[in-house]
Structure 1
Amino acid sequence: MANWWKESVVYQIYPRSFKDSNGDGIGDLQGIISKLDYLKALGIDVLWLSPIYDSPNDDNGYDIRNYQAIMQEFGTMADFDELLQQAHHRGIKLVLDLVVNHTSDEHVWFAESRKSKNNPYRDYYIWGDGKTDGKPPNNWGSVFSGSAWKYDDATRQYYLHMFSQKQPDLNWENPKVRNEIYNMMVWWLDKGIDGFRMDVINMISKEQSFQDGETYGGLYGNPSPYIINGPRVHEFLKEMNQRVLSKYDVMTVGETPAATTEDAQRYTGENEHELNMVFQFEHMGLEAAGGSKWTDRRFRLTDLKQVFTKWQKGLEGRGWNSLYWNNHDQPRVVSRFGNDKKYWAQSAKMLATCLHMQQGTPYIYQGEELGMTNTVFHSIDDCRDIEAINAYHEMTTQQGVSPQEMLCYINRISRDNARTPMQWDSSAFAGFSTAEPWIAVNENYKRINAAAQVEVEGSVFSYYQKLIQLRHQYPIIVYASFDLLLPESEELFVFTRTRGEQQLLTICSFAEQNVEYHLPQRFADDEKQLLIANYPCEPCTEKITLRPYEARVYLHK
């Protein structure tokens, strides 16, 4: 079935933090294998693994040293082959992370590239002369703070790294680079994997003038206009599709920061022959201020609804949405958009309902199905994420932010919130490992864990099971058009999905008090069916009183 990925629910695993099988405090492939029955019970269709390739781990595996080897801490290629076979045996597809905007500086290509200016691999990366004053080729800032250029003594030139200094950017202008990547993709697809999630894939084409970017009061210029959705990105993706992807029945999702709905139509349109869907970040940037994610701003519901609606309507009939609240780069949704204290379970279930009832392929990030929350970092020494650590030092030493204030931002928005170990049970280290994990377990693991929820009626886990079953059971949840109601409400997120004569009504309260709601005329009768709700509900006709963080979904035939 060509569009199986439209009807699927995807589960993302961050292997380092999922399950440790050998007692070294680091999750691994055998750990994942041991939990496949848990995932089968949840009901998901596809597993997406964050990078498992050989890596020095400067950016937790997103700095790849060898694309065709497994990170030693995670196991062996034999373990991977077993994982693939065991997942397929359970009817679960497996998608890998494709990280091809950059490699590790320890990759053999880069080791060769930096040897001399006339090395055959020199043009695999982006090198440039410094300015006459010895400064880098331009003023671009790296995503991970500091300059995007690193001086290399051996050849007295700079190389471009849009992320860490240990993540040099590949030169996609070089057809040899593209051939190497396509051959590597074919190697994995021939093994039997079911697709790729493509890391920052809309950054692979750089504007070749390499001119300075605008500065906004900081030390560095903004590179985004020159590196995001670049001049040849669609050409490269069409080539990748034609050479590789079109020959397999696979799922592809591109991570595309700063993409607009118009960009996404080009990336995901069925007649474009590029990708199946993209991850957009607009709803993830609603609290940012002045271009920085490091704030304590709270989102406004009207803004959140406006973004979701823009993407639902913008891709309707023109492309396909990926639906997510959480991933390895985002804080926990119940802490961010819900209430992780008084209304923890209610808001976790409401947020799940709100997302899974929209059009697109839903993604569940490990622990989301248990309502895992943000953690508490008492000091910067508790953090492991290079982005947070660099930002802490830059903002406290150069921008006048106090250490306490910066820790407050890190506790709210840092990527490490998503990377604390999976909470399996109430035993030591949450049942993740028999040894102290690479990053501390969230202190609430004795209360929030899988053992306390699996096969427990009314649990967050059982609610996610029900949502997944509904998606598999009712095509209207997958294919229907989307329409927002009450766009001005700062309390309720209400929308319909319409397919032929059928209509779904999803009502989600983001309020911490009771809110009255008058049902649309079509639903003000006894013909409607309550598909799911996160509180016990009495039959109703015209008016309902929604309790804090209440969610209901009605079907009218």
Structure 2
Amino acid sequence: QLVVKSHLGSGPGGKWDIRPWSLADLKKTMTKWQKELEGKGWNSLYLNNHDQPRAVSRFGDDGKYRVESAKMLATFLHMMQGTPYIYQGEEIGMTNVRFPSIEYYRDIETLNMYKECVEEYGEDPQKVMEKIYYKGRDNARTPMQWDDSENAGFTTGTPWIPVNPNYKEINVKEALADPNSVFHYYKKLIQLRKQHDIIVYGTYDLILEDDPYIYAYTRTLGNEKLIVITNFSEKTPVFRLPDDITYKTKELLISNYDVDETEELKEIRLRPWEARVYKIRLS
């Protein structure tokens, strides 16, 4: 079963303890917010902020499938009802950082936790560092990676915290030059929200609730429906359209892989971390 890293628990590390968290939990949480605010309020949609680890490292694959999973997460969030927030670096797929020792960290919560676990409870320092690599707030606070020059082009001086060493590969300059980058994918998502009222106003409904790898949902407005399909894994599960959803026409709005637009929607073998959004006209 798919698991992502959660950060709840008890013991010396308290909330820093890491336990498995199934995709079913994410479905339940997001669906609760979508449905309970329906017609009553408006969601703030975000996966990243200054107090959280980087989303592509927490929920995606920040290695082999960094680009694909960053695009998938963006699709998953931007097709929901509410206002999406993009945190600095999210739009280029910035990742968590793995500094070699606690001396490189600045966040007071991180420093206090390390001191408590290592000095007071005698935990293995490397095991404590692994928690910081997953959970630490400094993951979201390293300087913005503008280009491949010194300090990622952030400053000619000395930054308050070191730059993530992967800045030579992951930076704004590279993203702007690559038409298939995470950045340009975000631009497409934003453009779609402006072009299609259904993305803003459509009613959300979860489908394939029990699938352990696929998070799929619909948005419905009048005689149109969006089918949002996201694969939260490196596996290749099969998406099957529920029998009660029929349509006259379909249009692929966006995908993070090349897709044959004539492919039948009723059954799709998804690729690792694949995302697709179809707009259909109901029959």
C-alpha distance in 1, partners of 2:235/2:247?
Answer: 26
1:356 Cα deviation after fit? 0.6
State the AA in 1 paired with 2:8: A
The 1-side partners of 2:26 and 2:238 are apart by 21
| Aligned counterpart for 1:359 among listed residues 74, 78, 81 | 81
Distance 2:141 2:192 in 1: 29
Q: Secondary structure at the match of 1:498?
A: strand
Q: Does 1:540 align with 2:263?
A: yes
Query: In the TM superposition, what are the counterparts of 1:87-486 in structure 2 within 5 Å?
Result: 286-290=6-10, 292-486=14-208
**Shift of residue 298 of structure 1?**
3.8
Q: Hey, what's the Cα distance between the residues in 2 that align with 1:543 and 1:529? A: 16
Q: Which amino acid letter does the alignment assign opposite residue 325 of structure 1? A: L
Give structure 1 stretches of 5+ with no counterpart: 1-283
The CA distance in 1 between the partners of 2:75 and 2:50, in whole Å, is 21
Task: Compute the TM-score of the two structures, normalised by the length of structure 2.
Answer: 0.92
Amino acid at match of 2:108: I
Q: Secondary structure at the match of 2:209?
A: coil
Alpha-carbon distance in structure 1 between the residues aligned to 2:280 and 2:17? 43
SS at match of 1:299: strand
**Residues in 1 aligned to 2:160 and 2:54: alpha-carbon distance in whole angstroms:** 19
| CA separation of 1:545 and 1:325: change in aligned 2, threshold 3 A | same
Q: Is the 8 A contact 1:512 1:549 kept in 2?
A: yes
The answer (yes or no) to whether the contact 1:296–1:408 under 8 Å persists in 2 is no
The residue type equivalent to 1:305 in the other structure is: K
Alignment partner, residue 278 of structure 2? 554
Q: Say whether the 8 Å CA contact 1:293–1:413 is kept in structure 2.
A: no
CA distance in 1, matches of 2:177, 2:236: 30
Residue 505 of structure 1 deviates from its aligned partner by 0.7
Tell me the matched-pair count.
Answer: 274
The 1-side partners of 2:185 and 2:24 are apart by: 26
Report the 3-state secondary structure (helix = DSSP H, G, I; strand = E; otherwise coil) of the residue aligned with 2:235. coil
Deviating above 4 A after TM superposition, structure 1's stretches of 4 or more consecutive aligned residues are 521-526
In 1, Cα distance between equivalents of 2:194 and 2:64: 32
Q: Which amino acid aligns with 2:276?
A: R
Q: Distance in 2 between matches of 1:511 and 1:403?
A: 30
- Please report how far the alpha carbon of residue 480 of structure 1 lies from its aligned counterpart in structure 2 after TM superposition: 1.3
5+ long unaligned stretches in structure 2? none
Residue by residue over 1:133-161, the C-alpha shift from the partner in whole angstroms, topping out at 9 and shown as x without a partner, is xxxxxxxxxxxxxxxxxxxxxxxxxxxxx
1:252-271 Cα distance to aligned partner (Å, 9 max, x none)? xxxxxxxxxxxxxxxxxxxx
**SS of residue matched to 1:325:** coil
Deviations 1:13-39 (A, max 9, x none): xxxxxxxxxxxxxxxxxxxxxxxxxxx
Identity %: 53
1:479 Cα deviation after fit: 1.3
- Report deviation, 1:513: 1.6
- CA positional deviation for 1:435: 2.0
| Aligned-partner SS, 1:544 | strand
Shift of residue 433 of structure 1? 1.0
Distance of aligned partners of 1:348 and 1:328 in 2 relative to their CA distance in 1, 3 Å threshold? same
The question of whether the paired residues in 1 share the 8 Å contact of 2:10 and 2:17 is answered with: no
| Residue in structure 1 matched with residue 239 of structure 2 by the alignment | 517
- Distance in 1, matches of 2:192 and 2:180, equals 16
Match of 2:217 among 495, 500, 507: 495
User: Shift of residue 522 of structure 1?
Assistant: 6.9
In 2, the alpha carbon distance for the partners of 1:526 and 1:451 equals 43
**1:36 aligns to what?**
none
Given the superposition, is the C-alpha separation of residues 547 and 285 from structure 1 closer, same or farther in structure 2, using an over 3 Å criterion? closer
Tell me the secondary structure at the aligned position of residue 527 of structure 1: strand
Letter in 2 for 1:327: N
Taking structure 1 as the reference length, what is the TM-score of the superposition? 0.48
Q: For residue 289 of structure 1, what is the amino acid of its counterpart?
A: G
Letter in 2 for 1:549: W
Q: CA deviation at 1:295?
A: 2.3
One-letter amino acid of the counterpart of residue 433, structure 1: T
Q: Output the CA distance in 2 between the equivalents of 1:287 and 1:540.
A: 40
Structure 1 counterpart SS, 2:40: coil
Rounded to whole Å, the distance in 1 between the matches of 2:278 and 2:131 is: 38
Counterpart CA distance in 2 for 1:287 and 1:532 is 32
| CA radius of gyration, larger in | 1
| Conserved? CA contact 1:286–1:303, under 8 Å | no
Counterpart amino acid of residue 540 in structure 1: E
| Paired amino acid for 2:169 | R
> Counterparts of 2:119 and 2:10 in 1: how far apart (Å)?
19
> Post-superposition shift, 1:357?
0.7
Alpha-carbon distance in 2 for matches of 1:303, 1:391: 27
Task: Please report how far the alpha carbon of residue 404 of structure 1 lies from its aligned counterpart in structure 2 after TM superposition.
Answer: 1.2
Is contact 1:286–1:304 with CA below 8 Å preserved after alignment?
A: no
Deviation, structure 1 residue 520: 3.5
Is the alpha carbon distance of 1:287 and 1:524 closer, same or farther for their aligned partners in structure 2, counting shifts above 3 Å? farther
Are 2:54 and 2:95, in contact at CA under 8 Å, matched by a contact in 1? yes
Tell me how far apart the structure 1 counterparts of residues 122 and 208 of structure 2 sit (CA, whole Å): 42
**Conserved? CA contact 1:285–1:293, under 8 Å:** no
Q: C-alpha separation between the residues in 1 aligned to 2:190 and 2:6? A: 27
Query: Match of 1:534, as an amino acid?
Result: N
